[in-house]
Amino acid sequence: MRKLKKAQVWFLDIAIAILFFTTALTLYFKYSVNLNSDSDKLEILAMDSKFIAEQLLSTGYPENWTELPLSNISSLGLLNRNQTLNESKLSHFINITEHNYSFVKKNFETSYDFFIELKIHNLTISAGKNFTNPKYLIKLSRLLVYNNSIARLIIYTYSQY
């Protein structure tokens, strides 16, 4: 009889150890998978922000895109050949973004939403879809020249989920 009691205690110890080990393993894989997807999403958002900045800080393609129908525009750039801000291109970009956000989003080749601010002295010009409490947010800032002064282009790329 005495040997039977020792075996029962040993079995209980193994069962508890297996339960703890299984729980720890489950929690580890559950949270490590979520961490990877978060960092992957942030990396994609950062790449999209850089691509949007590259497009906006170019002359666009074709260079006279403001005179063409949307179907003929390959790239929306805001600069002149001398790498300064073109007011006409900026005005057209804001207009297109307000009336055809999906076209601009497709042109930027992003599946995420964006919001753009251009700060010139005390004036702020914005375009895109404004955000409130996004789950993921990347802010990218670039400097450019406007009327012999420095302007700041801020690009927010974000995801609500």
Q: DSSP letter string over 8-22?
A: HHHHHHHHHHHHHHH
pLDDT band at 45 (very low <50, low <70, confident <90, very high): very high
Look up the CATH architecture of domain 39-159: 2-Layer Sandwich (3.30)
Bridge-based pairing of strands 113-120 and 149-159 is antiparallel
Burial of 157: CB neighbours in 10 Å, binned 0-12, 13-18, 19+: buried
Q: Indicate the domain borders of the chain.
A: 39-159
Of 93, 133, 138, residue with least CA distance to 112:
138
Cα–Cα distance for residue pair 70/76, rounded to 1 Å:
10
Mean pLDDT for the chain? Answer: 89
* pLDDT tens figures, 132-150: 999 999 999 999 999 889 9
pLDDT of residue 28: 81
pTM reported for the whole predicted model: 0.76
